[in-house]
Structure 1
Amino acid sequence: MAADPGLFTPRSVTWQMHGDPMMWVAGIRALYLQALHPRAVRGVMQNSDFRRDAWGRLMRTANFVGTTTYGTTEAAERAGARVRKIHSMLRATDPETGEEYGIDEPDLLLWVHCAEIDSYLHVLRRSGYPLTDAQADRYIAEHRVSARLVGLDPDAVPADRAEMAAYFVKVRPELAAGPEARDVDDFLRRPPTHPLLVPARELLWRRVAGLAYASLPSYAHELYGRAAPAPATVTRHLRFTGTLLRAVPARVRWQLPPKHILRAMARLGPDARPAPYKLEPQVAILDGPGEGAADSDGGDGTRWGRPG
């Protein structure tokens, strides 16, 4: 019997993209963006000690993404069921109105989903990951699967860049940098650490978090109240960081726990190794004449294409 390739399979855009080291920068950008939805971030802050467990939250999200991308179908479905069960038991309260609401409301789950997918796609493409417009659309469509796992109706989730852009235009009036967003911002800029590690935090973490913040859409900079850096400068920094991180051998990077990719390759064989070049043969199939060459707008209103 053939080994189970999982929900996405090694032929998916997701399988190739999620093996890229810039996913860590993208994940931090997603946290910054998600925090701008007051109802969504309130649900996080009122149900967890974010300041003490922010690293744990980031690692749990990374583990969920790794499991659903590279794990077996059973493991992915089990991870989704666990997330849905936890969310179904949690409530949040609006301090101004006293309204109590579930954090598994579809609108809140949709915001978290779109902010993540937007961030993953935006950061990777802008940092030089070779992805055509058609493949970017395919990536967004593939993640209707992950949306289902957390409890969303796949048909209500954006399926391409145009739908993602329309979603962000629609949700924009609901966004604000409230007290909870300020807490997230403060943590990401100056995470508590052992005194001996403060120099490393200043040298490394602040650069990574600063780059993630810099890559946010212009309206996010306005809401946080800090001037947006020049887009061309941000793009250069993203490309430099991407080049630097991708120079580290993949086998070395993938040794970090929980080793989802290495376990997938052990299950499916070496041909399952994720790599950008495996997307190239799809261009002729997915793109019509002229497609994949021109840049287009992403969900946050910035350019998805590979900026110069």
Structure 2
Amino acid sequence: MTEQTTERRAHTSTRADDGYFGPDSMSWRLFADPASKLGGVAAILLQALNPDMMRLFDQTTSLYVDAAGRAERTARYIDTTIFGDREHADFAGASVRRMHAHAVWTDPRTGRELRADTPDWLLWTHNTIVWGVLRAADAFGPRLTAEEQDTFVFEQQLAAEFVGIDRSTVAATRAELDEYIDAQRDWMALTLPAAEITRTLRKPVLRGNPLTVWTGVVIQDGILSLLPDWALLLYGIEGRPMNLRSAAKTTRGLIGAARRNEGYEQTITELTTRVDTHPYRKVRTRG
């Protein structure tokens, strides 16, 4: 038993439980891997191509003012539902459902009501995250068998229920997930709000430390390499296949180095400690 394993077990022994997934799950394995963060960004880029979702968020959230804060809260929500104990995972899901229920806007020109809790939108958001994590694993590791990929997709059906998605509507295998993502392209579009929040894809910031700038641009292009061809076309960057392939190769090396330096046990210890101390929503102590 390694020192980190002992440390993690000592820590998790003080928790109520290991949550809905646990140490032996594919969900812990993949969401603890550094590649999943890049897959999560790819998922956000896909989500931004849902035109009605972006119109609603443009009207009801501080999407541009606090983009970093929103990204941090989203990451904390995923960490809480995956690595937190069951009570905190349930509480995080209930909090997001309440937030979605209040995000409503009526188009003054058409009278059409747009709601964040629209089932198709929830399903799109969920499936892009699962797909993005798997695509990142395809490109940057860890190498997975077909059975392991299907297991991850199946486990994430439970994660879909946290936000109110009917489990029977969610993909159960990698093949079903790929088919679902491909089938959505006919109703996707690049709206002005989506163009605003993704403008650095077309014009990266090149100021600052040269090594930092280079690494950032390479990883950004590595993320773009995960997207389907139709999404690259919508974002106007489909003409850079050689650049993206080269960036993907370099990004794989960077992620591999991060994986070796951090190690799975160390990452799990850090994640569970952070979730226990700073969950998405803290469960108040009840008398």
TM-score by length of 1: 0.75
Q: 1:185 to 1:98 in 2, by over 3 A?
A: farther
The answer to whether structure 1 residue 221 and structure 2 residue 210 are counterparts is no
Q: Is the 8 A contact 2:154 2:171 kept in 1?
A: yes
Q: Is the 8 A contact 2:52 2:114 kept in 1?
A: no
**What displacement does 1:147 show?**
0.5
Deviations 1:254-290 (A, max 9, x none): 499xx43346899xxxxxxxxxxxxxxxxxxxxxxxx
State the alpha-carbon separation in 2 of the partners of residues 198 and 98 from structure 1: 50
Deviations 1:200-250 (A, max 9, x none): 863443332232122211111111111242475354234212212213223
2:172 is matched with: 159
Q: Secondary structure at the match of 1:134?
A: helix
The answer to whether structure 1 residue 89 and structure 2 residue 107 are counterparts is no
1:31 is matched with: 44
Which range moves more in the overlay, 231-240 or 117-126?
231-240
Partner amino acid for 2:166?
A: D
Q: 1:166 to 1:151 in 2, by over 3 A?
A: same
Q: 1:151 to 1:11 in 2, by over 3 A?
A: same
Q: 1:236 to 1:198 in 2, by over 3 A?
A: closer
1:243 to 253, 256, 261: 256
Q: Is the 8 A contact 1:42 1:92 kept in 2?
A: no
Deviations 1:49-95 (A, max 9, x none): 22221111111111111111111000000000000001000113457
**What displacement does 1:185 show?**
1.1
Q: Is the 8 A contact 2:53 2:121 kept in 1?
A: yes
State the alpha-carbon separation in 2 of the partners of residues 7 and 255 from structure 1: 15
1:173 is matched with: 186
1:76 is matched with: 89
2:112 to 99, 102, 119: 99
State the alpha-carbon separation in 1 of the partners of residues 265 and 173 from structure 2: 33
Residues paired across the two proteins, number: 262
Structure 2, unaligned runs of 5 or more: 1-12, 278-287
Which range moves more in the overlay, 107-116 or 177-186?
177-186
Deviations 1:168-196 (A, max 9, x none): 2332211111112211211566689xx8x
State the alpha-carbon separation in 1 of the partners of residues 220 and 43 from structure 2: 11
2:163 is matched with: 150
1:48 to 61, 66, 76: 61
Deviations 1:81-129 (A, max 9, x none): 0000010001134577442221110001111111111111111221121
Q: Is the 8 A contact 1:6 1:70 kept in 2?
A: yes
The answer to whether structure 1 residue 206 and structure 2 residue 217 are counterparts is yes
Deviations 1:123-160 (A, max 9, x none): 12211212111110110111111110011001111111
State the alpha-carbon separation in 1 of the partners of residues 209 and 64 from structure 2: 17
Q: Is the 8 A contact 1:127 1:238 kept in 2?
A: yes
Partner amino acid for 2:234?
A: L
The answer to whether structure 1 residue 233 and structure 2 residue 246 are counterparts is yes
State the alpha-carbon separation in 2 of the partners of residues 208 and 99 from structure 1: 39
Q: Secondary structure at the match of 1:20?
A: coil
